[in-house]
Structure 1
């Protein structure tokens, strides 16, 4: 994983500095305990979406049954199901744990050890919200 290819420079700097102040410098907090910040490079997002589209096409062509992100979504994919588990493990270990340690120590902080990465497709003829 070449972090410069995946993450925006401001996020990499904040994680490299690894202080609450460095994280807060790139964040907004639209609601208490909810943080928003730029993290992924647009090019990486495009590659990820392309992989999701390829996976969905294969699922449709083979009529293969897959696990959806939750029981209420019909249009989405769990990222582990098509080879991204190792990448997500590294993402959590090196980039998410420092954030969770700083902002959520009471609910796991730096001890997080599992993930459930997924994408959901929204649209008029797709899912309209995360619940269904």
Structure 2
């Protein structure tokens, strides 16, 4: 007859309990990694892109604020981290903080879409000139 002593039972429990502890640590590590890659990392990327967009503002850009106000940038005050926009045909000027800019609607000159728009515009312009010659 084979008998277990208390020391044998404790040693066996420690071995199996130790393995399950490592499995639990791996599961927690996988959950934390998943949260980082699916929630935290995309958010920080989006914030960096928004900060870059706000820092690359130039005078003459068309913007939309988070409140829905649309206007053209007429001044940039870096010391106050603010911009002044002009809205509407009555030329009302409003001062905003840079963080309230939602989108920049002006197409930059060096971008691919600007080049495509210029090509399309010149195509229509040429066609219109051809129509007037006839």
Relative to the length of structure 2, the TM-score reads: 0.25
**Structure with the largest fraction of helix:** 2
Larger Rg: 2
**Structure with the largest fraction of strand:** 2
Relative to the length of structure 1, the TM-score reads: 0.25
